[in-house]
Structures are given as C-alpha cells and as structure tokens.
Copies of this chain bind each other. A is one copy, B any other.
C-alpha cells in the first residue's frame, strides 16, 4: 500500500540532487547529463512515480485538457465526432472532458462554467437546439479561451467553425432521385427554424428548380425528428391521397417511419415508391430495403474540429492573432436499395 504519492522531491532526496534537476530530467530538457537523466528515470520507476499534471498545469498556467460540449453523447453522429476529436487530441497530449447539454441552454452554461473552472486549454461545442442567445459563448472568447464550433454553428460568433454542407448533400440526393425519372418528391423534415433543416430544404429546392419542377407544389411535412411523427404523417396522408412517386425524409429516423407506414399499407419500396433519408444512421444499411441516405463523415468532422482547435491554441501561446477559419465538409451520397427501381 502506498499512502502518499511520490513526488519529484522524493526522487531528488533519493539521489541527493534537487527537484529542478529531476524535473528537467523527466521532461527531456536539452541541458541535462545523459547519466543523470537515466538515473532519475530509473528511480522514478522504482519509486513508482506518477507525474502530477494538476500541479504542472497550475504552474504552467495552461491545462492539458480540452473541453467538449455536445447535445447528447448517445447519438451516433456525436459519439463518432468525439472519436475523431480524440484521435487528434490524444496524440497531441490532451485529454477530453466531455459534457452534455441535453439540448438545454441552462445546462450548456453550467458546462461552460465547469470547463472554465478546470482551466481547459480550449473548448469545442455544438450548440443546443435551444441556444439562440450567445452571451455565454462570448464570455469564453473574452476569457481568451480558444473556441471552435462544429455542426450546429452560429454565424454571429467570430470563431473557427466546422460545418456540414447540408445544402449540397441534400441537393445531390434530390438530384439522384430525379434522375430515376420521378416528377414529384414529398418533403419530410425537422423544423426549418434550425439551420440544418433549412439548409437541407434549400438543397432539395435547388435540385427541383433546376429540373424545372415547382417546389411550392410539392407536399411538405415538418415535424419532430422522430420515427413516430413521420409514421403518423404517412398513415394519415395515405388515407386521403394517392401514393406519391418519392419521399425524401431529411432524417433517417423519419425515413424509417415513412418506410414502416408504407409497408404496413402494402406498398413495395422501391418498386412502388422511392424513399431516402439523411445522415446514414447505422440501421440504414440493416433495414430492408437498405436505405439511400447521406453520410456526414462524423469522425472526419471531429478530426477537423480538433485540428482547428490545436492551431488556435498554438497561435494563442505564441501570442499571435489568428484568422478564424470555417471548414465545410462535403457529405457523401450513399445510394442503396430504397431508391433503385429495377
């Protein structure tokens, strides 16, 4: 049993040298004799020394931790972004403190407080759906803490950002459906007050207009981004209307509801009607028919976001001003069975 953690003092005492020498030896200082370095490292191991980065952070004035705030960790997209972030940050010597805002701006503010209290070296955030007022984030910037926004971003803030090109992803998908010869596409999506769904709708609109189809004549359903909301919609819709040629759901979960509703009414996909989703959830390739959708390269988004943060932290250390960068990631159309009429 070890009662007290061994410190560099203990090592120093053991070898009749000073703590500063030990510190230097442990940190590969250039001006240190090779023999003492080895000696120190040996005794460090012998005494089971574990460096105290808390103390080091305090002294150095900067932490080896980075904070990250996401709405929810148990969403496929975000957990993959996290994986991407770690793949860049860990090799650079940083650990992540992850916080969940649970889509609440109050929790988001609290998260920021604890991250600042922990003197993280930087913060990565995808804002909650509630977040319109950005004062709490401006405070972070005022505190000189590097901040990078990703996915759910806001143009009101002058920081580096990484976003998905939802317009383009949606455009590509719509165009793909139109190439199958259909003349109408029902739109199913989340609220267009959210930039994400607004952008996806705009891509859809653009492709329709280019094909000479009036987007205002298309059926359009907006509701909660859930399977059930889409299922309710399609059940009701089928009762009163004829089967449309195609449906584009701007979320895979909604697409799932559409598919279930169509199948229970006896319609065959893709033979009777084409269906597509968005964001390539894991189940998209597991269901029958396999779902055509758009993949968002979540891990790559994480890597890009982390890289921007690293850059900011470096230039901040060097006390140089930094030009904020906005990276836009092109998503990729994933064509599967649900839009492949034989």
Residue numbers of A with Cβ under 8 A of B are 1-3, 5, 48, 50-55, 57-58, 63-65, 72-74, 76, 79-80, 82-83, 86, 95-100, 113-114, 116-119, 139, 142-144, 227, 256, 263, 282-283, 286-288
Between A and B, 13 residue pairs with Cβ closer than 8 Å are A2-B143, A51-B117, A52-B117, A54-B58, A54-B63, A58-B58, A73-B83, A74-B83, A82-B98, A96-B97, A98-B98, A282-B283, A288-B288
* Pick from B65, B83, B100: contact of A83, CB under 8 Å: B100
Number of copies: 2
Q: Say yes or no: A144 contacts B50, CB within 8 Å.
A: no
| Residues in B neighbouring A95, C-beta threshold 8 A | 97, 99, 114, 118
Q: Say yes or no: B288 contacts A283, CB within 8 Å.
A: no
Q: A73-B79, A98-B98, A227-B286 are in contact. Are A54 and B52 (CB under 8 A)?
A: no
Q: Which of A52, A55, A73 has the most CB of B within 10 A?
A: A73
| Residues in B neighbouring A72, C-beta threshold 8 A | 83
Say how far A10's CB is from chain B's closest CB, in angstroms. Answer: 14
Q: Say yes or no: B117 contacts A1, CB within 8 Å.
A: no
Expressed in whole angstroms, the Cα–Cα distance for A79 and B63 within the complex equals 26
Expressed in whole angstroms, the Cα–Cα distance for A139 and B287 within the complex equals 46
Q: Say yes or no: A2 contacts B74, CB within 8 Å.
A: no
Expressed in whole angstroms, the Cα–Cα distance for A287 and B50 within the complex equals 50
